[in-house]
A and B are shown apart, each in its own frame.
Chain A
Amino acid sequence: MRMEMTQDGSRIVIALQGDVVFTTRDEFESELRRIMEKAVDMVLDLERVDFIDSSGVAAILAACEDARLAGITFRIKNVAPDLLEIFELIGVKDVLPFD
């Protein structure tokens, strides 16, 4: 899994690429935590994510909650329909801030 960070004004866009799964979760969370230290507005772009499992979903859910507690605006965008179905199967589609 790769993470690419770009900045648009005060908004940080994090584009994920590849698989967001149990083997890449720790790396994902630690990098996201580092980015959140200085963020006020974040967008997670999932356009180039090939696959996500429940560990990946849990990581995104945790990031969303951490952002909320830190007062950071957090959105998720460009989620393919098949990937969105995975969020729905796991039961979190309605609680995450999808665009």
Chain B
Amino acid sequence: MTRAGATVGTDASFPGRYWFILEDIVTQPGVGDETCGFSGLREVLSAVVNLMGSDSPNGLIMVQEGRYSLHRHWLGAYGCMVCGFPLSEGGAMFRSYARGLGLLTNGRVRLVTHGGFPPDPEPDQILFEGSVETPQQAGALLARFRKVLTGQVPPRQALLHQLVFAELTANTLRYGRHGRMVLYEEAESFSIMAKDQGPGIPLERLPSSLLLTGHTTTPRSLGAGLPLIIRLAETVTVASGDQGTWILVRLPPTQTEVK
């Protein structure tokens, strides 16, 4: 990746140090080295800057189809550091993605296996739970969520919590199978657990699906749901694979600024 510095370009709109995600890494035949094709660089940087703020650690995670590798080196004048290390298949790859997502989001996103997913809440913690298999069920859950939160948190925060719940419910309905949502309270904060038995999000798609607005497989969608959830949540724990997608969102305990 030593050629990446030359291709970052002369965009002076992004001074300082940033994490960002790239796709479309191209291997130039005959060069014997990998170079980056930066498609949509401005859009990616803009998205990550908006998400992370200016005091984030710097770095770059690159996702390449077929050969997954994260590389670390300093890109000099642009103040961007490319982070990563060579991967093997299987567990090492997963651990690298998990580490990368955690680093990219200052620990806000935790990628785990289904076996490592937090346990279901205790029955006395549960405020409500329900299936998300039809739009009617989803609408009913949304109404219940609003009712539970009314009077429990300030109105503006309730609206933002509701946004998280709506986006998570929509995703579970749209992409999952036999989806189920649980709202519970723990240590003075609300948590939403969404589990489905759908196809899951492929590992290599997780960074863009979770962090970049505009990544969607659905027509007419803004692809804003998951990035919005992450932006508004305290933490987001994700397990996704053959067993479906499980997401646990811990909402901020008090009214805070959106990060």
Contacts and interface: CB of A to CB of B under 8 A. Distances in A.
Pair from one complex: yes
A53 B159 contact: no
B139 interface: yes
A31 B234 CA distance: 38
Interface stretch (A2-10, A33-41, A70-78, A86-94): A86-94
Interface stretch (B83-91, B119-127, B163-171, B247-255): B163-171
A19 B224 CA distance: 18
Interface residues of B, number: 29
A61 B220 CA distance: 10
Contact of B220 (A21, A58, A91): A58
A17 B160 CA distance: 19
A65 to B, nearest CB: 11
Interface in A59-88: 61-62, 82-83, 85-86
A51 B166 contact: yes
Contacts of A89: 163, 228, 231-232, 258
A54 B228 CA distance: 9
Interface in B193-225: 213, 220-222, 224-225
DSSP majority for the B interface? helix
Given A21-B166, A82-B156, A86-B159, A54 B142 contact: no
Contacts of A91: 50, 213, 224
B222 A82 contact: no
Contacts of B213: 90-91
Nearest to B159: A82
Contacts of A51: 146, 159, 162-163, 166
Contact of B221 (A55, A82, A85): A55
Contacts of B220: 58, 62
B70 interface: no
B111 interface: no
Interface of B: 50, 135-136, 138-139, 142, 146, 155-156, 159-160, 162-163, 166-167, 169-170, 173-174, 213, 220-222, 224-225, 228, 231-232, 258
27 contacts: A22-B170, A23-B135, A23-B138, A23-B139, A23-B142, A24-B139, A51-B146, A51-B159, A51-B163, A51-B166, A53-B166, A53-B167, A54-B170, A54-B221, A54-B225, A57-B222, A57-B224, A58-B221, A62-B220, A82-B159, A85-B159, A86-B163, A89-B228, A90-B222, A91-B50, A91-B213, A92-B222
Instruction: List 4 tightest A-B contacts by C-beta distance, closest first.
Output: A22-B170, A53-B166, A54-B224, A23-B139
Interface of A: 19, 21-24, 51, 53-55, 57-58, 61-62, 82-83, 85-86, 89-92
Given A22-B138, A58-B221, A86-B159, 10 more contacts: A51-B146, A51-B163, A53-B167, A53-B170, A54-B228, A57-B222, A57-B224, A89-B232, A90-B213, A91-B50
